[in-house]
Chains A and B, each alone.
Chain A
């Protein structure tokens, strides 16, 4: 797996956090089983550079921590409301950032080449249909303007 924005170690850490957050349940695959991490650059290429740097630095630090400590930190961030003021805000940002990246990848339904399961969207039965051919009726507004 390659990323223009994250190192292999950082990607590995993100995968570990992903599997902690989405371990798999019933017919829902785990995060790593979808190989959706392969698409992380699709998010990061559109993310402001300072935010990408912050994420990379966070993952670099977390890479040295044992799984149990990462799990504790993730759970702590998810209980941010219990902490007032600046600390609560920072924990909420951490929660938003991590869940934002991991849930976006997982529930995008994108599965990478190393996927060991079907997409989670198949598991929940999500499908959107929109016939993309513009109908001639849709050009009516041109006469109106």
Chain B
């Protein structure tokens, strides 16, 4: 069994730098981890690269400041060009699964039909994806939130829905045992109980057991395809310094799987020079923009205590209008950022933190954004709301106001700050002239596959995590089918070598 390394890669000997892996996987979130597990279990030699650091469960930061700065890209301050929308994405071994709420919903017919229409791919339907969903669902511990899980914020959510005649449903979450009396908002900075079904305690753990090499603190800058292998160039963080220092490093693989998320994968391909050759790269960026509303109640709500999220909107009228309502809250730093301004009045507002209830509108955005990179290689994100998006946001915010008024809110604050948590697109999948084909292969490439939310052709309006993992299972099938016989031969060959105890330099050939 291998372990996760944060030590700089070295040349020579049997180190990662001199070895040619069958696969290098870039990104350790839900897509990268599922792929890594499947490929390793099939006998391929794999290296997984992650720009963020590796944390043991007990090492996740307790403090919101440290969680933001250490677990999110740019401290959670990635903004669009207009600086009115923030994009949050995980930067740690486990990627987004470390900082999300692990809400696991399947896509509905509306989402799949729109994907099929946009791409022409006929397996984009519930029936064809059912097996892949099932695989994930049986691999993870799932929990449907019960009445006894509700905190007061959830109670107010349900009470207001029932008063106003809207439909709600319990959330389904990936969790094993959150115990009693614990405050799961802590999960947003990594779950210290190993209950949340994040990648480090699920797929990644099994992938490592199957022989996966993991290199943390390695940020990939470019991929270069050669005739026989791919060179993956990046910077390895040198541990143990306050001011971060990096060393250049290169690793090699016969094939490379990009799973660094919508922003990460798109940026990497653009910086690797694919922008000219692959039309559509960087286009079709969506993010389910979220609008948070805080309501000051007379009673103490303590929305930060207990289960962080327990219920969701389930009203077909909302789905039709292109939004959903989330039962959420935020830590003090985030709440302070949501309220505009500063000064004494701002501080007095924050004193009411324990009296705040919260709901969030997440819209199914239809106006695509674009992702590009500057001369310095840094991301430039152009994302504005179109008229249809604004209409959806207005409709959702109006409902939230009505809901809070129905339960006697004393003051309602609808934050102007928009947040993108579900980052999708940039490398849209499709049949013809798409960035990625339906075998997850990058257009014009024989050695690069893209398997993450960057392939989404549009915004589904549903939490994407489960579908990302299901698609990764499908992608693994494609890759293994393509590699099939050579992997079997190599496994057989490995067994013979192991039995005869002779050293060999033979790698699995895919």
Interface residues of B in 308-342 (CB under 8 A from A): 331-333, 336-337, 340-342
A17 nearest in chain B by CB position: B342
What mask results when residues 47 to 82 of chain B are scored 1 for a CB within 8 Å of chain A, else 0? 000000000011000111110111000110101011
Complex: how many Å from CA A42 to CA B176? 32
Q: Is the CB of B201 within 8 A of A141?
A: yes
Interface residues of A in 103-145 (CB under 8 A from B): 103-110, 120-121, 123-126, 128-135, 137-142, 144-145
| Given contacts A26-B348, A28-B347, A128-B183, A89 and B82 within 8 Å (CB-CB) | yes
Interface residues of B in 183-235 (CB under 8 A from A): 183-186, 192-195, 197, 201-203, 205-206
A51 nearest in chain B by CB position: B74
Among A5, A23, A50, A130, point to the contact of B186 (Cβ < 8 A): A130
Q: Is the CB of A129 within 8 A of B181?
A: yes
- Please give, as numbers and ranges, the residues of chain A lying within 8 Å of B337 by CB-CB distance: 96, 99-100, 103
Q: Is the CB of B84 within 8 A of A92?
A: yes
The yes or no answer to A47 lying at the interface (CB within 8 A) is: yes
Stretch at the interface among B135-143, B359-367, B385-393: B135-143
Shortest CB–CB separation between residue B60 and chain A, in angstroms? 9
Shortest CB–CB separation between residue B197 and chain A, in angstroms? 7
Complex: how many Å from CA A50 to CA B378? 10
- Please give, as numbers and ranges, the residues of chain A lying within 8 Å of B184 by CB-CB distance: 130
Among A22, A47, A120, A130, point to the contact of B74 (Cβ < 8 A): A47
B138 nearest in chain A by CB position: A144
The yes or no answer to B401 lying at the interface (CB within 8 A) is: no
The yes or no answer to B179 lying at the interface (CB within 8 A) is: yes
- Please give, as numbers and ranges, the residues of chain A lying within 8 Å of B340 by CB-CB distance: 78
| Given contacts A92-B82, A92-B83, A138 and B353 within 8 Å (CB-CB) | no
Q: Is the CB of A46 within 8 A of B70?
A: yes
Q: Is the CB of B69 within 8 A of A26?
A: no
Q: Is the CB of A126 within 8 A of B353?
A: yes
A21 nearest in chain B by CB position: B342
Complex: how many Å from CA A107 to CA B334? 9
Shortest CB–CB separation between residue B291 and chain A, in angstroms? 15
Q: Is the CB of B63 within 8 A of A108?
A: yes
A71 nearest in chain B by CB position: B343
| Given contacts A137-B177, A144-B141, A107 and B64 within 8 Å (CB-CB) | yes
Q: Is the CB of B343 within 8 A of A23?
A: yes
Q: Is the CB of A132 within 8 A of B344?
A: no
Interface residues of B in 346-404 (CB under 8 A from A): 346-348, 350-351, 353-354, 376, 378
Q: Is the CB of B77 within 8 A of A5?
A: no
- Please give, as numbers and ranges, the residues of chain A lying within 8 Å of B69 by CB-CB distance: 42-43, 45-47, 104
Among A93, A107, A109, A133, point to the contact of B83 (Cβ < 8 A): A93
- Number of contacting residues on B, CB 8 A? 68
- Please give, as numbers and ranges, the residues of chain B lying within 8 Å of A50 by CB-CB distance: 376, 378
- Please give, as numbers and ranges, the residues of chain A lying within 8 Å of B62 by CB-CB distance: 128
| Given contacts A92-B84, A100-B337, A135-B193, A125 and B354 within 8 Å (CB-CB) | yes
- Please give, as numbers and ranges, the residues of chain B lying within 8 Å of A23 by CB-CB distance: 343-344, 347
The yes or no answer to A68 lying at the interface (CB within 8 A) is: no
Among B57, B70, B75, B181, point to the contact of A134 (Cβ < 8 A): B57
- Please give, as numbers and ranges, the residues of chain B lying within 8 Å of A99 by CB-CB distance: 336-337, 342
The yes or no answer to A63 lying at the interface (CB within 8 A) is: no
Q: Is the CB of B194 within 8 A of A21?
A: no
Q: Is the CB of B176 within 8 A of A124?
A: no
Complex: how many Å from CA A124 to CA B69? 23
The yes or no answer to B1 lying at the interface (CB within 8 A) is: no
Q: Is the CB of B185 within 8 A of A128?
A: yes
- Please give, as numbers and ranges, the residues of chain A lying within 8 Å of B376 by CB-CB distance: 50
Q: Is the CB of B333 within 8 A of A145?
A: no
Q: Is the CB of A140 within 8 A of B141?
A: yes
Complex: how many Å from CA A132 to CA B60? 10
- Please give, as numbers and ranges, the residues of chain B lying within 8 Å of A26 by CB-CB distance: 347-348, 351
Q: Is the CB of B139 within 8 A of A134?
A: no
Complex: how many Å from CA A46 to CA B230? 30
The yes or no answer to B163 lying at the interface (CB within 8 A) is: no
Complex: how many Å from CA A139 to CA B242? 35
What mask results when residues 67 to 86 of chain A are scored 1 for a CB within 8 Å of chain B, else 0? 00000001000101100000
- Please give, as numbers and ranges, the residues of chain A lying within 8 Å of B206 by CB-CB distance: 142, 145
A27 nearest in chain B by CB position: B351
The yes or no answer to B255 lying at the interface (CB within 8 A) is: no
- Please give, as numbers and ranges, the residues of chain B lying within 8 Å of A4 by CB-CB distance: 242-243
Shortest CB–CB separation between residue A44 and chain B, in angstroms? 9
The yes or no answer to B416 lying at the interface (CB within 8 A) is: yes
The yes or no answer to B37 lying at the interface (CB within 8 A) is: yes
Shortest CB–CB separation between residue B278 and chain A, in angstroms? 27
The yes or no answer to B244 lying at the interface (CB within 8 A) is: yes
The yes or no answer to B182 lying at the interface (CB within 8 A) is: yes
The yes or no answer to B288 lying at the interface (CB within 8 A) is: no
Interface residues of A in 27-57 (CB under 8 A from B): 27-28, 39, 41-43, 45-48, 50-51
| Given contacts A100-B337, A108-B65, A21 and B343 within 8 Å (CB-CB) | yes
Q: A28-B351, A135-B177 are in contact. List 7 more A-B contacts (CB 8 A).
A: A45-B69, A48-B74, A96-B337, A100-B75, A130-B192, A134-B194, A139-B176
Can you list 27 A-B pairs, Cβ within 8 angstroms, ordered by A? Answer: A21-B343, A24-B347, A25-B347, A26-B351, A27-B351, A41-B242, A43-B69, A45-B243, A46-B75, A92-B84, A93-B83, A96-B86, A97-B77, A102-B342, A103-B333, A103-B336, A104-B68, A107-B336, A108-B333, A110-B65, A121-B332, A124-B350, A126-B353, A137-B177, A141-B140, A142-B205, A145-B37
Per CB-CB distance, the 5 closest pairs between chain A and chain B, nearest first, are A108-B65, A21-B342, A92-B83, A137-B177, A132-B192
